[in-house]
Amino acid sequence: MRSRRAVRYLKKDSIAGRLIYRRSYPEPLRPFLPGISKGAKGPRELVRSLKARDITEPGALDLYRAAAAEYDLAVAHARKAQKFSEKQARGEFDTLSAETVAYLAKVFEAEWHAREERDLAAGGAAWAEQARHGWQYMLDEFREWRVEQDLYHMEEWWADQARELCAAQGYALAPDDRDGLLRLCAALNDVAIIISDQSKARLRGNIVPVPAAPPRPERREPPTRFPKLASAAQSFEAIVERLLETERLGTGQSTKEAARTGLRFFREVHGQPAPSAITKQMVSEWLDMLAQRPAKLDKSEMALPLSEVVARYEGRKDIKRLSSTTLEKYLRALNARWAQAQDEEGLIADGLPNPFSRKRVTAAPHRKPVAGLGRETLDAIFALPIFTAGERPTQGKGEACYWLPLLMLWTGCRPEEAAQLIVDDISVDPVTGHPTLAITGDGEHPEKGPRRLKTAKRSSGERTIHIPRPLLDLNFLAYVAAVRAAGHAALFPKLRTKGKRGLLFSGFSGWWSAYLRDHGVLPKGDGPRPSREFRHVWTTAAREAGIPREAREYIQGHVPDKRATNDTYGDREALGRAARDIAFPKINLSKVRPWRKEDMAAD
């Protein structure tokens, strides 16, 4: 008889009767769980389906053990990250010696193997195929960077993982230890190359031992304590890096990227001066140099200093340069960091003028309106086997490959808004009785954690729309009912987060673009076509259908036009009813087969 302890944290789904591993995280650790963005609360619990109604069924106990191991690892990570945050708050930082870099590389290797074992046990053959595809895509890049000692691309790819690894092991990376960071990035790149053969062997079904975690080296030097007020010798770049890595400030990933890229270009023009040495003239020279940089560079030129790149392309009228929008992004990022360091954190002396403020970047010419995907491209998309024959490719994330493009087409929503939907977002209008779809940043997604909308900071984006009739005709409500009956909270339960920002659609978009190219919808070698282009298609169709501007803005989650102040008065939810009558008479959708439960792959 099994011990009671062996089956703790199990619950049964009330509808399907499947076993679910459900375990709450300690409340203080939630913000420090793996993959949680700075400032986010983190998920309340870990929920994993055992895909069985009884623990004795084949595979159920293995999934239980995998879930328990995942929980233990996440909590251990969170405890270290919490200690790291406390250490950082005290102003204590570490420099990465050669011994420490070697230790961290061994930790990275052991954790890679352990994580891969867990993911393989949970995802099976489908996950293995996706992982093999990842090696095929990146391994040659890793090797090329190593041969060429391409630190630019190593840092670009590995820096965030290097910082997360340091934090997880309790090392608060000193803001001015750029050399240590680059050494660690190069070491992680080497580890990836070394373990690739072992990883691919495991993915083919071979048994590959998981190495033990290495012993932690004894600390030889006490951590460096940075003064509250920056010294004259402390560079502006070091101050900004400290701000970006302070968890309490909750700096978003896109802001970090803009600030770090802007700082790198500033360093290439002026070095690493202290705040007191930076003048408005220096900022103007930096912007002038940036404005001459080509928008796209050959891979061999990416590591070149800005001045050398500009010199290479001087006088070339055929080369597109960085846009004013890009320059403005870097300028604003550094302007905001200066103000934050001076006004909020006291890291820059009071009275020192902000050289990044009140600088003007000439606006670029108005862009040519984007019409979206062309008619022939749309016809080809919706003639693909996933829409016409019930095909469900392994990497297509189950029913997401069928419904996500259709939802983006018929509702005009942003890709991540569709990807993070949960079944509770589908309801009924109490006035009309028509089914509705809520697009909201409220609530939690079981994989992503707290949901968010891109426009939340501008107090827009929240909306409830009537589900367009063609989606109902394609059996959308039957799909929702099937997902709910299977015990899933997420509308697309096979989607997983990917990338620095932890987005669900990022885990789908790469495959989607490749699928379109493989089927001749997009030309080979063409860059990924953003799925946002469905929004432009929707806007055109809405105009042609006579949907008023105010309703179009509401349905697509745009900020109301401030020129018409009364547009913001009253409840705008009634505007969402116009979505049900949208039509696409110029697109051939006749081949799209209504969804059937038989198409649904087993979870």
520 or 194, greater pLDDT: 194
Q: What is the rounded distance in angstroms from the CA atom of residue 528 to the CA atom of residue 373?
A: 13
Average pLDDT of the segment spanning 524-537: 64
CA atoms within a 13 Å half-sphere pointing along the CA-CB vector of 459: 2
What is the reported pLDDT for 423?
A: 92
Residue pair 422/570 in contact by the 8 Å Cβ criterion: no
The yes-or-no verdict on residue 194 having pLDDT over 90 is: yes
What is the reported pLDDT for 80?
A: 76
**How many angstroms separate the most distant Cα atoms in the chain?**
81
The yes-or-no verdict on residue 399 having pLDDT over 90 is: yes
The domains of the chain, with CATH numbers, are: 1-91 (no CATH), 93-208 (no CATH), 236-344 (no CATH), 375-599 (1.10.443)
The yes-or-no verdict on residue 219 having pLDDT over 80 is: no
DSSP, residue by residue, 128-180: HHHHHHHHHHHHHHHHHHHHHT-HHHHHHHHHHHHHHHHHHTT--B-TT-HHH
The 10s digit of each residue's pLDDT in 230-259 is 444 578 888 888 888 777 777 777 788 888
Q: What is the rounded distance in angstroms from the CA atom of residue 336 to the CA atom of residue 461?
A: 25
Confidence of residue 532 (pLDDT cuts 50, 70, 90): low
The yes-or-no verdict on residue 192 having pLDDT over 60 is: yes
Radius of gyration of the chain (CA): 26
Burial-class residue 212 by CB neighbours within 10 Å (0-12, 13-18, 19+).
exposed
The yes-or-no verdict on residue 592 having pLDDT over 80 is: yes
- Spatial neighbors of 241 by CB under 8 A, at least 6 apart, are 175, 176, 260, 263
Q: Token pair 């109902």 is at which residue?
A: 472
Q: In percent, how much of the chain has pLDDT > 90? A: 15
